[in-house]
Amino acid sequence: MNLNKYINNRMELKGAIIGSLMGDLCICKTGGKNSNAWFTMTHGVEQKEYLEFKTNILNMHPLVNAKISERNTHLKKTDSDYLEYQSISNRNKYATYLYNLVYPNKKKIVNKKILDQITDFGLLLWYLDDGYLNIRRYPDGRIKEYRIFLYTMNFTFEEVVMIKNWFIDKYDISPNIN
C-alpha cells in the first residue's frame, strides 16, 4: 500500500499516529525526567503484516526508527508458548512529546485536544485495532443492520462520553455507549 496516498503531510502523520495510540500503539518511558520515550506495539502471528504496516507508518516520521522482532511468550494461564511480533522504536523526542500529551499521569487518557488531532486515517487505524463489525440478520438470513463497535474499556466513562461527543461534532454520528 502506498502510504503517501493517505499520509501526505505532517498533520496527517500525527493524526494517524494519535489514532494508533488510541488503539494498540503504546509509548513507554523509563529513566529520568530528561530521557526520551519510545513507541511499542505487539501482535500475534496472524497480524504480522498489519504490524509491519503500522511500523511503516511510524517510520515515516523523521525521528522514529522502529524495527520488528519476534519473541516467544509463555502464557501461565494456559501453560503454553506462542510466537508474537513486537515493534519497538528508538527513543526519540516525538514519542516523548506524545507521551506527555497522552500519558500525563503515566496512564493513557483521551481529551478533546487529542481527539481533534485524529485524522480519518487515524480513526481507521483505531478501528482496526479496537473495532468490530457486527452484522445482525433476520431469521431468514437477510441482513437487518450493520453495527460498528469501538471498544474503549481502558478509558473512563467521562472520556467515553467525550469520544461520543467528538463523533457527533466531527462526523454527525451519535454512537451509543454500552
Are residues 95 and 37 in contact, defined by beta-carbon separation less than 8 angstroms? yes
Say what the pLDDT of residue 75 is. 83
pLDDT, tens digit (0-9, with 9 covering 90-100), for 86-111: 999 999 999 999 999 999 988 999 99
Q: What is the pTM of this model?
A: 0.89
The DSSP code sequence of 96-164 is: HHHHHHH-TTSS----HHHHTT--HHHHHHHHHHHEEEEEEE-TTS-EEEEEEEE--TTS-HHHHHHHH
Q: Rounded to 5 degrees, what are φ and ψ at 133?
A: -100, 125
Say what the pLDDT of residue 33 is. 78
Are residues 64 and 39 in contact, defined by beta-carbon separation less than 8 angstroms? yes
- Cross-strand pairs, 136: 145
Say what the pLDDT of residue 17 is. 96
CA distances from 134 to 127, 131, 154 (A): 13, 10, 21
Say what the pLDDT of residue 141 is. 95
Nearest to 170, CA basis, from 127, 129, 116, 128: 116
Q: What is the pLDDT along the chain (178 residues), one digit of tens a residue?
A: 678 777 888 999 999 999 999 999 999 999 877 899 999 999 999 999 999 999 999 999 999 999 999 999 888 888 889 899 999 999 999 999 999 999 998 899 999 999 999 999 999 999 999 999 999 999 999 999 999 999 998 899 999 999 999 999 999 999 999 8
45: cell is: 502471528
- Cross-strand pairs, 135: 146
Say what the pLDDT of residue 78 is. 87
Calpha distance 26→88 (Å, rounded): 10
